[in-house]
Structure 1
């Protein structure tokens, strides 16, 4: 027999599904994927992070960004074209770029060729080329906080779900994104084997990182503002040698999201155990008063502690378990 709390959660999630099913068609016309872009150049996997090899890769993707800008201009999307024009600045560096289907990127902030510590930012819902400035701003803030021989990579390597969509209530997007994240981290490892690499995973991106975690060659996995850890009920289920950290700001609305997984026959609804729950077993860190979108805000407690983790240090003050 299903318990009363479980029935209540099931009703709440089903209500959310109904709401999302109405909201998605209404907003479909404005979806970022509607803007056309050419297929990117096919490059060999990243294996060489020497300055010369990286310069060549950066130049190839800059050409792809400019081609996407021309396509957006012809389509009449001035905002997308302006974003792409800024991305094509010679001072910016992309390990990957694909302007189709809302956009896929991997932008380097810092000097990857000499980096001793690398942080890979994995974003959550509603991240695309049209909102890319938020992801890059976080990468810039984290790299400045880290300083020294470090690089932060803003990895938009999957089609993120919309916050108010049915996709945001299931792990399906994370399941498809995880192999891509694993492949990307594998390339980084091959190119910079001596660097200390950490995954820094926000919101739905935490579900992606949890799915990608088994055996991944990273030192830390930082889950913050997370709606759940996917199918893993405990850190041990992630099958990782990395230290797993969890943090949530006191102003983050994600705390009110039910942390459950409900098989409904046609899909699994819910994103699993709260990584901050004591039974999950992650190391908590103090995220201060962060709201859902400002964990990497300059001078914030959450940014300082995430930077300490990436450097291999202990956060100044660990948070409490839920």
Structure 2
């Protein structure tokens, strides 16, 4: 049986009074915490064009993060938020389904046309990523940038697709990642919170793009987020690919409880191979997915130089991941 989102973790269906209450007390928008993405979509598509434009102008911080809202409305709301945030955000081009610079921040950038896509790849980055380094990369290394990695993946997938106009790639940084150099990276608390946010984001994506199949990619700690979200993934997720993974929170693929094809890659030059598989006292993430005993389909990574170059141009791993993103694994 396909594994569909558990409404208790994605967000229960609200009653009428909840549907029209935002965190600020406005009776204009659904609550982004309680409202189900299906109800959100119905609420907004029922509004006239002028009313939707008013909601964007008056409540961009709510609408920009509202899973189930039509993408065009979220793009417009987040564009306003980025402009209001000032440098270095106001001059960033692109389409954004999420933007919140507070704290470590939340952001999601779209490459391609979601409205036309029938194949969408969501890339979940790992530790150390923040809104402030989303474009420039952790430590100022551009190849570590989720935005740059998603752009490379999108271009490579388009070259392999029969109809590149049908593809979209989303770099989704919708959770608080741990720092790469503290003990939180060996624990699952951040991944558990990220898994709930990811389930909800995907549920909203299915609502606004009902024809599209979804590939879910996770790098490093992002793969742990996906592993903890696995039992509540929408049936539209046809492929899950993880690379440089410290573990997905389980000991084998069967324990994930997914019907999607599972792919894994790990370079012999990736330091992640030294992370122990043990889970003890809240530390550890289980067997690495690229381990033959785990049960994933392993893709080639022999020319990947380290932990951060799985999506680098010219690598076998990018070629494999691009084919999966294009729906041609």
Which TM bucket (shorter chain)? 0.7 to 0.9
Matched, 1:117 2:122: no
Looking at structure 1, the residues matched to 196 and 129 of structure 2 have their Cα atoms a distance apart, in angstroms, of 19
- Single out whichever of 300-309 and 198-207 deviates more from structure 2: 300-309
Structure 1, residues 69-99: CA drift from partner, whole Å, max 9, x if none?
Answer: 2xxxxxxxxxxx32x1332x3xx10111111
Matched position secondary structure for 1:249:
coil
Alignment of 1:200-219 (within 5 A): 200-217=217-234, 218-219=237-238
1:106 aligns with 2:108: yes
Contact 2:267 / 2:302 at 8 angstroms: preserved in 1?
yes
Say if 2:296 is the partner of 1:282. yes
How many angstroms apart in 1 are the aligned matches of 2:327 and 2:218? 17
Distance between the aligned counterparts of 2:216 and 2:258, measured in 1? 12
- 1:167 offset after TM fit, Å? 0.6
* Alignment deviations for residues 263-294 of structure 1 (CA, whole Å, 9 cap, x no partner): 2xxxx011211111222111111123212111
Q: Which residue of the other structure, out of 144, 152, 156, is the alignment partner of 1:145? A: 156
**How far apart are residue 40 of structure 1 and its match?**
6.0
Q: Supply the distance in 2 between the matched residues of 1:203 and 1:252 (Cα, whole angstroms).
A: 10
Corresponding residue of 2:310: 295
Aligned to 1:172: 189
CA shift in 2, pair 1:288/1:116, >3 Å: farther
Give the deviation of 1:233 after TM superposition: 1.1
SS in 1 for 2:72: helix
Secondary structure of 1:219's aligned partner: strand
Correspondence list, 1:175-254, <5 A: 175-217=192-234, 218-230=237-249, 232-254=250-272
* Contact persistence 1:121–1:199 (CA under 8 A): yes
Note if 1:131 corresponds to 2:133.
Answer: yes
- Deviation, structure 1 residue 255: 1.1
- Which position in structure 1 is the counterpart of 2:37? none
Equivalent residues of 1:287, 1:305 under 8 A apart = no
Q: Could you tell me which runs of 5 or more consecutive residues in structure 2 were left unpaired when the two chains were aligned.
A: 1-58, 136-144, 159-163
Q: Normalized per residue, which structure has more helix?
A: 1
Structure 2 SS opposite 1:269: coil
SS at match of 1:127: coil
Larger displacement relative to structure 2 (245-254 or 105-114): 245-254
Q: Secondary structure at the match of 1:214?
A: helix
TM-score normalised by length of structure 2: 0.73
Distance across 1 between alignment mates of 2:303 and 2:207: 38
Counterpart of 1:93 in structure 2 is: 95
CA distance in 1, matches of 2:318, 2:292: 23
Q: Distance in 1 between matches of 2:321 and 2:261?
A: 13
Deviations 1:231-281 (A, max 9, x none): x11111111111111101232111111121112xxxx01121111122211
Superposition CA RMSD, Å: 1.6
Q: How does 1:29-68 map to 2 (within 5 A)?
A: 41-43=61-63, 45-47=66-68, 53-68=70-85
Q: Give the distance between the partners of 1:238 and 1:124, measured in 2 at CA.
A: 19
TM-score w.r.t. structure 1 length?
0.75
Aligned length: 252
Counterpart-to-counterpart distance in 2, 1:65 and 1:85: 5
Q: Which position in structure 2 is the counterpart of 1:18?
A: none
Q: Distance in 2 between matches of 1:172 and 1:191?
A: 29
- C-alpha distance in structure 1 between counterparts of 2:184 and 2:98, whole Å: 25
